[in-house]
Structure 1
Amino acid sequence: MSLLLSDTLVVCDMDNTLLTAKEGLPACNRTVIQLFTEMGGLFTVATGRPPESIRAALPGITLSSPAISCNGALLYDFSNNTVLQRSTLNREQATTAILDVMEHFPRMGVEVMAGDGEMYVVRANETTHAHQVDEQLGSIACPLENVPDGWVKVVFAADPESIRKLSQYTKNRYYGGENYFSHTNSIYLEIMPGGVSKASGLQNLCTLLGKNIKKTIVIGDYYNDLELMHAGGYAVAVANAPAEVKAAADFVTTCTCSEGAVGEFLYDLMEKANRI
């Protein structure tokens, strides 16, 4: 792991790693991130959230590199509010999947993110409402056929048991080979463009910045961060991560997300850099 901060790109998952939906960003994380970037470190996020939600969740924090948004479907530069790279779903195949799920799971919430990550709610439920509130997302209630082109992902949202059943159901269905299902959270199952993930987003970001991917540090908390953690040069798991995620990490923080795990790690990183 490089200890030259100006050569160190830290890529951090957001939910339950950097912040919690209810409590927000721990104050120590905010303070240490600002100090880390002032000392020349590069810090950004890799998240399922669209740009609007990233901005709302991190007021006052300047990301020093473009963000990996919508689980890798968007690379977004907040310095000039520009999408640098966009990957999209096969709309026909995604539509087939959505219609089938809506027929067989009548209480399942359905969201489509399109364009720059704008959220179109095709079918609302308690979970989609909580998604909008917790992640400070604007949304448009919209029939499926009226959602604009440029779909970057689909989110199915419900209670954990319903999502478990949906995940099992979709494993035995075929909707075409250009998209894939990703279990990103206990209450969400997503459809993503084939070959697109946080890990592919990291590779694309490193190519864009001219950075060696093996000099990156990745911080995560959940199973959907594992590919990203394997792709980077050094993997960090927060203390609240499942055992399998901790086992895949090079380092596990003492603090949980809500206790300031990211700040803990970055502070330790800065101390090591100062000792060189």
Structure 2
Amino acid sequence: MTNFKLLALDMDGTLLNDELHISDVNLRWIRKAIEHGVTVIFSTGRGFMNAVDYANEIGLHSPMITVNGGEVWTKPYQLLERKTLDAKWVEKLHLLVSQYPETWFWAYTTERIYNKDSWNELKGQYAEHEWLKFGYYDEDIDIIQDIRRQIDSWNALEISNSSIYNLEINPLGVSKATALEKLCSYLEISMKEVIAVGDSLNDIKAIQAAGLGVAMHNAQDEVKAAADAVTYSNNEHGVAEVIRRYIFNGVETNL
């Protein structure tokens, strides 16, 4: 085995296949890594409640990073750190999307998700909620790029994505990398002892900051360029291959 002590896994497009399932092959190798003392965590753009069911399903009681690093959990339901998005930015981000009436949008609070269909339930009371992340989705890439240019011009927010068709907005300085650094400090391990695996722009900083950064075969080109290595796709048990290759030194065992 190698000296890596923590394996940080993105979920959508990485650990989960296109049917949003964790394959039996991935699960078997995750359990093998845990049995040998490696801490395996989710590092996801999902909100806590959209991630924790997967952790419960596979019996994962390790730390979690959610909403792109906006929340760090020492274990499910035990919060270590939360960084919120000021309500004034949520209001401004919503005002921006009004220019694009066909664009889907959503935002996470600490309690629930509000989206295009339920936004009116807020009744404009933005300050009554603790916000974590705002998102946009449009299959018209030109619209996504235009929205990004406008937000970039504010120089005030963290911009990433979890697919080429969306944008995910967090407070400035919040990323999976900063969350991993916080978690490593808590666990008293070095970032050099971390493997970070992902497929989208919200994974790049973690991939660059970790001792080993791995992109999925299905990852966006920018992610592959930032990574130290590329594994199989999310539909080909790419996470299992990372564990086999980099934690168990490429042991010749069929996936």
The normalised TM-score by structure 2 is 0.86
Residue 20 (structure 1) shift: 2.9
Aligned equivalent of 1:41: 38
**Matching residue within 210, 222, 233 for 1:256:** 233
Q: Does 1:28 align with 2:25?
A: yes
**Deviation per residue, 1:119-166 (Å, 9 max, x gap):** 122x13xxxxxxxxxxxxxx8872362454210111122224332332
Residue 237 (structure 1) shift: 1.7
SS of corresponding position for 1:167: helix
Equivalent pair of 1:119/1:140 in contact (CA under 8 Å): no
Aligned equivalent of 1:131: none
SS of corresponding position for 2:12: coil
**Deviation per residue, 1:166-190 (Å, 9 max, x gap):** 2234344x3xx54333334222212
Residue 218 (structure 1) shift: 0.9
**Matching residue within 124, 131, 137 for 1:157:** 137
Residue 259 (structure 1) shift: 0.9
Q: Does 1:237 align with 2:215?
A: yes
Q: Does 1:268 align with 2:248?
A: no
Aligned equivalent of 1:145: 124
Aligned equivalent of 1:211: 189
5+ residue gaps, structure 1, are: 125-138
Aligned equivalent of 1:224: 202
Aligned equivalent of 1:115: 110
**Deviation per residue, 1:52-101 (Å, 9 max, x gap):** 1112344532335311100000012444x122210011211331231132
* Cα distance in structure 1, aligned partners of 2:123 and 2:92: 11
Residue 36 (structure 1) shift: 1.3
Residue 201 (structure 1) shift: 0.7
**Deviation per residue, 1:16-48 (Å, 9 max, x gap):** 111135242222011111121122111002110
Equivalent pair of 1:163/1:189 in contact (CA under 8 Å): yes
What's the % identity of the aligned pairs? 28
Letter paired with 1:99: L
Equivalent pair of 1:23/1:258 in contact (CA under 8 Å): no
Aligned equivalent of 1:106: 101
SS of corresponding position for 1:142: helix
Aligned alpha-carbon RMSD (Å) = 2.6
* Cα distance in structure 2, aligned partners of 1:160 and 1:43: 36
Aligned equivalent of 2:14: 17
Equivalent pair of 2:207/2:227 in contact (CA under 8 Å): yes
Letter paired with 1:14: M
